[in-house]
A = this chain, B = another copy of it.
Amino acid sequence: MVKQDRAIRTRRTILAAAAKVFEERGYQAATITEILASAGVTKGALYFHFESKEHLAQGVLAEQDQRLTVPSRICKVQEIVDTVALHAYRLQTDPMVRAGVRLSLDQQATGLDRSGPFLRWSEIMLHFLDQAQAQGELLPQVNTSDTADVLVGSFAGVQAMSQIVSGYQDLGHRASQLMRHILPNVALSSVLATVDLSSTRGALVFAERDGER
């Protein structure tokens, strides 16, 4: 058990170092040697966990859709809002999440399949939307698959714009505005009236989730 804990910690150390190096140098220019030096682990330890630079990148990419579980809500539309708001908050506060999102938009990362995060996020959103639809929370014309894709794609751009124009300072506001523009065409107004769409929602959800642990 202790041994397993140590392996998890080592894996985490390596991923954090990889995230840092990918963010500073980009996928193409980054080398395993640099990641090794930054992580301060042995070559053997690194290759035990990740067999190549691509595997390291996939590990970093996958971090953005890990640990995004929000407290369960009766209202599934609120769960969608909370998931997006928590992701926005983690982008502002967690370098690993930031590195993963940036890597998924890294145009020079040829040979690296960057579709994973988009497809996984779409699946997560689709799952919530289907639950919301089954509970009668959505407007009759909604195609949950199209809506899931719109939510994921549009958020990817809103976060990029926030990063570029304000260094993520205004991401809470931008994420909230995005939801306010899209959700009235997705959810019943009677449902939406009960949903908290405020720009500080992400921090609240993070604190609530942390308290549950």
Contact = CB atoms under 8 A, between A and B. Distances in A.
Interface of A: 23, 25-26, 28-29, 102, 104-108, 114-115, 118-119, 146-147, 149-150, 152-162, 164-165, 174, 177-178, 180-182, 184-186
B186 A181 contact: yes
A213 B162 CA distance: 38
A26 B177 contact: no
Q: Work out how many copies of this chain go into the complex.
A: 2
Interface of A is mostly: helix
> What 4 pairs between A and B have smallest CB-CB spacing?
A157-B157, A154-B154, A156-B157, A153-B158
B158 A150 contact: yes
B153 A162 contact: yes
Contacts of A28: 26, 29
Given A153-B154, A157-B158, A164 B104 contact: yes
A160 B158 contact: no
Contacts of A159: 157
A156 B150 contact: no
Contacts of A186: 181
A183 to B, nearest CB: 9
Given A26-B108, A28-B26, A108-B26, A153 B146 contact: no
Nearest to A118: B161
A193 to B, nearest CB: 14
